[in-house]
Structure 1
Amino acid sequence: MDQDGEPTNDDRVAQLYRHSDGYPESVLRNLAQLKELLDATRAERGPGYAAASFVFLNKLSTINLYLDGDPDRTTDAAQPADLLDPSNMEHLDQPLFLLGHGIENPADGIHGDEEYLDVVELPTRDPFDESAEWTVKVSSHSAFLRWDGPTDEAFERASWQFNGPLEHTLEGIVAEPA
């Protein structure tokens, strides 16, 4: 916020990293599902909340990988506290649902493991207004450099295969399932 309490551009940025299945087809489908859910529930509150919801829903969708029905474990999806008991994760080398996503500080750069960059722009609006279109930019495959320092210039230098409304991104990049 600036000295007058107005949001600055930095207040409108949430930079995420998704380690597994960060390909445009998957990310765009997840974004469309998230937008549909946020629109239906009128729960969109800006980039930070949308980013947190994106991570939560991605993690929630993979939790079944750790609830495999082994009778020797007490993990029960109906008892979320069971998921917090480390003894229920002893069979895992690393519980990937605790990893795989990160919130990055745009001032620190891009760590270099990404194959694609995606930019999702949410409109600045009152959360109780009618839903509005999200704008999405999707980079070409590995069309950017590892970047140390603030990411503004990295995103300016990237080559973009698409830049437009989310619904058109889905049409242009993602082939609808048959």
Structure 2
Amino acid sequence: MSTRSQLRFIQRSETAGEQSDTDRIAQIYRHSDGYPDSVLRDLVQLKELLDETRTERGPAYAAAQFLFLDTLSTMTLYVDEGRDRSIHADQPSDLLEPDNMEHLDQPMFLLGHGVENPADGIHGDEEYLYVVELPTRNPFDDPSEWTVKVSGHSAFPRWDGPTEEAFERASWQFHGPLEHALEELVAEPA
């Protein structure tokens, strides 16, 4: 069973306290593993990578990089599984050949994500909403903290209506620094 989610990456304008028309927003749909344990770990991994490489450039880039990293992680389900596969880890370009995909029925690495237009509404079958607030800063400054909001499980309107209303009416189980969200909402591995 899939756990669908919407992630909104946002950078507030310098003068805005709440969302305004000058905020920068990028929103993505994640079809599977949208529960906090998975999403928050992936966000921490993304932030660490962006901090180390000094490549944080705002919401659109962060959303694209999140999709890229998540796609890379799901591609491993189709590479070198020990079955009669024509895709090999030492030749990742094999993934670009449509003939190599004939044996795959709708591979998740091609269908597991979507770039959303925040004005179009959410699908209505998501179980979690996330807001990842990036700091307003010069990209060459030292890395700074990300703030996240994590909705309660299905704690928002579930219809194909305006996205903004779903995010405004959501009940948030967490709002604070990403590191604290990880501490509070993610179970330690056994």
Q: Same fold (TM over 0.5)?
A: yes
Structure 2 equivalent of residue 113 of structure 1: 125
Where structure 2 has 5 or more consecutive residues not aligned to the other structure, the ranges are 1-19
Deviations 1:7-59, CA, capped at 9 Å, x for gaps? x7465111111001100110000000000000000010001000000010011
Of 106, 130, 136, the residue aligned with 2:148 is: 136
Whether 1:59 and 2:63 are equivalent positions in the alignment is: no
Asked if 2 retains the 8 angstrom alpha-carbon contact of 1:107 and 1:149, the reply is no
Spell out structure 1 runs of 4+ moving beyond 4 A.
8-11, 69-73
Q: Give the aligned residue type for 1:18.
A: R
Aligned residues: percent identity? 75
Query: In structure 1, what is the equivalent of residue 90 of structure 2?
Result: 78
Q: Distance in 2 between matches of 1:168 and 1:41?
A: 23
Q: CA-to-partner distance for each residue in 1:36-93, whole Å, 9 max, x for gaps?
A: 0000000100010000000100110121111135675432223232111112111111
Counterpart in the other structure of 1:5: none
Cα gap change, 1:169 to 1:76, in 2 (>3 Å): same
Tell me if the contact between 2:149 and 2:176 (Cα under 8 Å) persists in the aligned partners.
Answer: yes
Q: Which moved more, 1:90-99 or 1:132-141?
A: 90-99
Partner-residue secondary structure (3-state), 2:128: coil
SS of the residue corresponding to residue 175 of structure 1 reads coil
CA distance in 2, matches of 1:23, 1:95: 21
CA 1:71 to 1:48, structure 2 compared with 1: closer, same or farther past 3 Å? same
CA gap 1:71/1:33 in 2 versus in 1, 3 angstroms = closer
Contact 1:16 1:101 in 2 (8 A): yes
- Report the AA paired with residue 171 of structure 1: E
- Picking from 138, 154, 162, the partner of 2:174 is 162
Q: CA RMSD in A?
A: 1.7
**Of 20, 31, 37, the match for 2:32:** 20
Question: More deviation in 63-72 or 14-23?
Answer: 63-72
Correspondence for 1:89 among 85, 101, 108: 101
Q: Which amino acid in the other structure matches residue 127 of structure 1?
A: P
Work out the CA distance in 1 between the residues paired with 2:108 and 2:83: 21
Structure-1 residue corresponding to 2:185? 173
Q: C-alpha distance in 2, partners of 1:11/1:66? A: 38
Amino acid in structure 1 at the alignment position of 2:28: L
TM-score normalised to the size of structure 1? 0.89
Q: Tell me the secondary structure at the aligned position of residue 63 of structure 2.
A: helix
Q: Confirm whether residue 99 of structure 1 aligns to residue 111 of structure 2.
A: yes
For 2:39 and 2:60, the matched residues in 1 are separated by: 17
Q: TM-score, normalised by structure 2?
A: 0.84
The answer to which of 140-149 and 122-131 deviates more is 140-149
